[in-house]
Amino acid sequence: MKLTWLYRSFKTDLDLIEQELERAVSSNSELVNNASHQLLKAGGKRIRPVFVLLSAKFGEYRIDRIKNIALALELIHTASLVHDDVIDEADMRRGLPTINYLWDDRVAMYTGDYILARSLEYMTNITDPLAHKVLSRAIVELVTGEIDQIKDKYRFDQTLRDYLRRIKRKTALLIAVSCELGAIAGQTPPDIYKRLYKFGYFIGMSYQITDDILDFVSTEEELGKPAGDDLRQGNITLPALYAMRYPLVKAEIEKVNRDTGKDVMSKIIQQIIETGAIEQSHQLSRRYLDKALAVLEELPDSRAKKPLKEIANYIGKRKY
Amino acid sequence: MARRIYDQKADSIKELIQKKMYHHFLFEHIESPIIDEDRILMLLIVMEEADVSDKKAESSAASAMLVQIALDIHDQVSKEQKSLTERQLSVLAGDFFSGLYYLLLAEIEDIQLIRTLANAIKKINEYKTTVYQLAGQDPDTFMASFKGIGTTVIKDFCRHFQAERYNPLFMEFLFLKKLLAEMDKFQEGRFSILFEGLKKFYLPQMYSTTPLSHLSRRDQHFLKEVCTNYIDQCKKNLKEESARISGLPDIFLERVEQLSNQYKHIAT
């Protein structure tokens, strides 16, 4: 099943978001304009706008208001990707060259800042101060998480708790906040938007764990980068953490550095798989997904429930 | 307002900014950002006229400063930085300070100022790309963008608080300060984007062939002369503007005087 099929019931609104995104990144500067449109060309799953729209359906669904949140969150996500590519010195994203590769770091910095400013402009169409408090706290926490990720690079003695906190900030937080803000924009009562935050948080955790598993088990063609690249970059993800419970495997993992070659990495990946770490990681991802589905059950009836459940299950089963 | 009160308020804003942006790991790896006290003074002058509480005035000024600091730190991101970690953390520091500006204003529920400053950030990044590419049809367009980079936050802040009468004065002050800093960079043999632009527009035959440091002494002197003309014009404007506005605090007039005396016209 493809995401586009899952999105079928609200395609009109998503098309509107897509058109507005084009407008949002248009600029008087030809360079910013070209760079921003290069980003949009690469597409993306638009998972955050989808969660905003669906969560708003638990309240008063007014697309003219809700679209501002959906756009703001997608733009924040996009801006963070542009800056992440500078941080990671990445050449490619979603099969297309990155802005820092096509132009340079400086242009990527300016484009990212421009897009972030645009996102805040859209947000200010929302007059509820609560929405701004929620989003601004999330942005600060998200960046703090990225700083911690750099601090934790090649730190092989980190705990499961360190990892979970990192992926919360890296991925789960923005998805959780997408759900929460969609519901706030839909003017739902607090018990609804708080539950939707939890739903998004659990989904986000499951999503990132699956992403971290795929980094070890997918092919270079599927990933657009060599398998095990996260570990090579010093990011200790869940499969590696589980596998390090075995001293011999731990000793091998601890030798990994930026220059570790593909052959060595293949052997290490094989060792990680043999410890059962992939399966254990899948189990934890599944547990988060089950928690998300349980939260969904507690929510009042809405036409958003079915698509949210379908998307949750899609996330649990995705292969790349 | 008495000088002592200005100093106290400026210290309090500076302290708030430092407290908000402190992050142990970050400041272990990047240089502590410079908090421009002249800008704080300008913001205080504006806030003195605004009908807002002290807390709101402090948060508003601190958030405008955070925006400027975030923008400035992103200008330092380059492959020339000492290490990859320093470069990575410069990216994140800018994002962190931007997030703090939003958080600070969200906490005081000033959504309109969030919008004003977001709009300023947007324009500044457009100016930055124009300057970075050395784009523009003529030196005037280039210089207007160059000026816009350093002045738009204060300009839009003044407009937001209906204190536009200060705009020409503050803009000339900040422009002069920036021109002087670029002149220093050029004289010390460091990279100067302003002088790259001047070379493009005033020595077009040398634009793509000769790096600034390899220009003949005559050509280097010529570019300094061009920059000095901008400095002189800016000083003149600044003098006129400070005379035009009544009731400016002595502390600011002294700064205008100091800055204006910082550089004398070079001998031709």
Q: What is the pLDDT of residues B146-201, one digit of tens each?
A: 999 999 999 999 999 999 999 999 999 999 999 999 999 999 999 999 999 999 99
Per the document, the length of chain A is 320
Q: Which residues of chain B have a CB within 8 Å of the CB of A144?
A: 23, 96
Amino acid at B146: F
Within chain B, residue ranges assigned H as helices are 3-21, 24-29, 37-49, 54-74, 84-107, 111-132, 139-160, 167-187, 193-202, 217-244, 250-260
B99 to chain A: which residues are within 8 Å by CB?
136, 139-140, 142-143
Interval A280-307: pLDDT, tens: 999 999 999 999 999 999 999 999 999 9
CB contact under 8 A, A150 and B84: no
Mean pLDDT of A108-126: 98
Using CA coordinates, name the residue in chain A closest to B122: A114
Place of tokens 């079928």: A8
pLDDT computed for residue B266 by the predictor: 62
Contact between chains at B99 and A124 (C-beta distance less than 8 A): no
pLDDT in the model for residue A2: 63
CA atoms within 13 A on the CB side of B103: 18
Q: What is the pLDDT of residue A220?
A: 84
pLDDT confidence tier of residue A320, bands split at 50, 70 and 90: low
What percentage of chain B reaches a pLDDT higher than 70?
Answer: 98
Does pLDDT of A219 surpass 90? no
The widest CA-to-CA distance across chain B, in whole angstroms, is 57
Domain residue spans of chain A = 3-317
Chain A residue with Cα closest to B23: A144
Q: Nearest residue on chain B to A31, judged by CA atoms?
A: B129
B contact test, residue of A30, A134, A136 with most B CBs within 10 A:
A136
Mutate to test the interface with A, among B26, B128, B137 (most CBs of A within 10 A): B128
Closest-approach residue (CA) in chain B for A25: B122
What is the reported pTM? Answer: 0.95
- pLDDT exceeds 80 at position B17: yes
- Closest-CA distance, B123 to chain A, in angstroms, reads 8
> Quick check: B83 and A153 in contact, CB under 8 A?
no
**Terminal Cα-to-Cα distance of chain B (whole angstroms):** 43
Q: List chain A residues with CB under 8 Å of B94.
A: 109, 113
CATH code of the region A3-317? 1.10.600.10
